[in-house]
Amino acid sequence: MHPLIRTARTTGLFYLGLGIAGALGFLTIRPMIFEAGDAGATLANLVANESLARLGVAFELLVVLTQTLAAVWFYRLFRSVDSIAAGSIAAFGIVNAVAILGSAAMLGTALGVATGEAGGAADTVQLLYLVSENLWAVGGLFFGLWLMPMGWCVLRSGWLPRALGWILVAGGVGYVLMTFVRYLAPGAGIATDLLVVPATVGELWILGYLVIFGVRKRALTETPRTTPTTPFTAASTA
């Protein structure tokens, strides 16, 4: 197997692992434990489903692990295309992973409080879950920032469909805007959800393409276009 295809598929597998861990931990297990506005119910759910709650913490740690590995492998994949943009993917992805690491620590602390390891109180557990939720929310800023240079590298390399690159850039912008809208206009409702639709489409597309195809066959014989300074100077000369 060509090294470029191997790197692309490995990157895709790490990204797939990130998606699965996030879907199971944040989107599936968390709603089964956390009841917004009802501290007593959250505490009761946590005590009654301790093993499930511990699994939720484990999935959050898997999010951190897989996003960190995906960030590093995206850098390996795109560093010959644009080293600054590739480094930005790695840096922003790791910062987002650190935010989720903080969330996992909060959930672990909540579990300890609920099970009597640190003295229990429903309000304390609820507060920890709310902080955890907000760590995910503010981490969305860096999740958006990691999608934008990812889309840029797709556009510059020519190794993947160009439409995918534009969708990733749009998705990154949408995630950044969503992070601000969440706090500036908390009643925005469906408008907030629509902002992240391009990101969802782009993520599913790129991880599927990387895992199944790796890169376009022509990329194996082409020399990628490189950027001598920054992505912005390259944009002005493209």
Q: In the 3-class helix/strand/coil scheme, how is 146-189 assigned residue by residue?
A: HHHHHHHHHHHHCCCCHHHHHHHHHHHHHHHHHHHHHHHCCCCC
Query: What stretches in the chain show pLDDT beneath 50?
Result: 118, 226-238
pLDDT of residue 204: 94
Helix 39-48 with 50-78: angle, nearest 10 deg: 90
pLDDT of residue 188: 80
> Residue 234, SS3?
helix
pLDDT of residue 231: 46
Q: What is the DSSP letter of 28?
A: I
Q: What is the DSSP letter of 27?
A: I
Give the model confidence (pLDDT) of 182-216 as tens digits.
Answer: 888 877 888 888 998 999 999 999 999 999 989 88
pLDDT of residue 113: 77
Q: What is the DSSP letter of 119?
A: -
pLDDT of residue 8: 92
pLDDT of residue 117: 56
pLDDT of residue 120: 54
pLDDT of residue 153: 93
